[in-house]
Amino acid sequence: MKNVAIIGSGSWGAALGIYLANHGHSVKMWSFDEDEKNLINNKRKCVFLPNAKVPDGVICSSNFEEVLEDAEIILHVTPSKFVRSTIKQYKSFVKPNQMVIMCSKGFESETGYTLDQIMEEELLGIKTGILSGPSHAEEVSLNVPTLMVVASKDSEVREVISEEFKSNSMRIYTSEDVKGVELGGALKNIIAFCAGIAVGLGLGDNTFAALATRGLVEIDRLGTAMGGETKTFYGLSGLGDLIVTCGSVHSRNRKAGELIGKGYSIEETRKQVGMTIESVDNIDVAYKLCKKYNVEMPIVEKVYEVLYNGLSPKEAVDILMTREQKSE
């Protein structure tokens, strides 16, 4: 059993803490929010996971040094826009014998970096990895059988995470394709947002399936252009995560798209969802990347225009449907 530090007390950080503590690991969790910290420590609850109980093995603190001191594994679980700033706050406490695993999904908007690139810059000499896959926090916290993938260039990281995190409700596959796993997790949120728009417009299963399928093609195009492997995008962190994020009632990205499809503004949508919406935060990055790498991504281009250029969701669908005929 391991001492695990979790940086972030939102739904996914809390779910990982609950799962790991229930399977014998010692968990210390960092939170910037005093109310969240007190709720976890005193009430054994997480506001984002009302059906789950936080076990006594989870201790929450707002002190980075206290959380990281004895950790063998560090899980970073903050919104993508706060990844670099948060790492800067705790990296002086990270020791060479610890490993840092990125569990967040997204991009850094200012640079267009994937989150593994941020770790490479900020955590010199530290072993790192990416944990991704179809894994809604609500279900992981309740021990629903879940499959994930850990990606790292370091074989020890892959072996430790896959072995220590496994159980009869969690199976961890391994991959060396860090870039592919990273991009699959980041880009699928955008396609799920688009699928939500289709639901909000009242369109049918045919449209939903078409969006998911052609969206996967776009993920593969940009992902391979940026160094990922096609097989990764048809695995757990690509197709698997796309299925669960497009189709689940738990998906905040799908819910956000559905609200946009119904005519809500971005501001109204953020208030309704009440949590970070990675797709909204990263659509402009994906748009810029597809232009940078000269990759055709019509779905991403149109949803960018919906959010930033005033195109209506219905007009976006009409434009996509009347594009020039092509071979699949």
Give the model confidence (pLDDT) of 11-29 as tens digits.
999 999 999 999 999 999 9
The mean pLDDT value for 196-206 works out to 95
pLDDT at 189: 93
Which residue bears the tokens 């779910």? 15
pLDDT at 238: 96
Please say if 262 is a catalytic residue.
no
Helical segments of the chain, H only: 11-22, 34-38, 64-68, 83-90, 115-122, 137-140, 155-164, 178-200, 205-225, 230-233, 241-247, 252-261, 266-273, 278-292, 298-308, 313-321
Collapsed DSSP state (helix, strand, coil) of residue 58: strand
Q: Amino acid identity of 284?
A: D
Q: Which residues contact 318 (CB under 8 A, 6 or more apart)?
A: none
pLDDT at 191: 96
pLDDT digits (tens, 9 = 90+) for 214-252: 999 999 999 999 999 999 999 999 999 999 999 998 899
The mean pLDDT value for 174-202 works out to 96
Q: Is the pLDDT of residue 125 over 90?
A: yes
Average predicted confidence (pLDDT) for the chain: 96
pLDDT digits (tens, 9 = 90+) for 270-313: 999 988 888 888 999 999 999 999 999 999 999 999 999 999 99
Closest-CA residue to 27 (of 10, 1, 3)? 3
pLDDT at 278: 87
pLDDT at 188: 95
The C-alpha atoms of residue 223 and residue 237 are separated, in whole angstroms, by 12
Q: Is the pLDDT of residue 119 over 90?
A: yes
**Of 28, 37, 179, 188, which residue is the catalytic one?**
188
The mean pLDDT value for 96-105 works out to 97
Burial of 47 (0-12, 13-18, 19+ CB in 10 A): middle
Phi and psi at 217, nearest 5°, equal: -60, -45
pLDDT at 250: 87
**Residue-wise DSSP of 114-165:** EHHHHHHHHSTT-EEEEEESS--HHHHTTT--EEEEEE-S-HHHHHHHHHHT
What separation in angstroms does the CA of 75 have from each of 28, 144, 147, 241? 10, 20, 17, 19
Closest-CA residue to 126 (of 103, 106, 156)? 156
pLDDT at 2: 94
The C-alpha atoms of residue 263 and residue 272 are separated, in whole angstroms, by 13
pLDDT at 281: 85
pLDDT at 275: 82
| Mode of pairing for the β-strands spanning 73-76 and 107-108 | unpaired
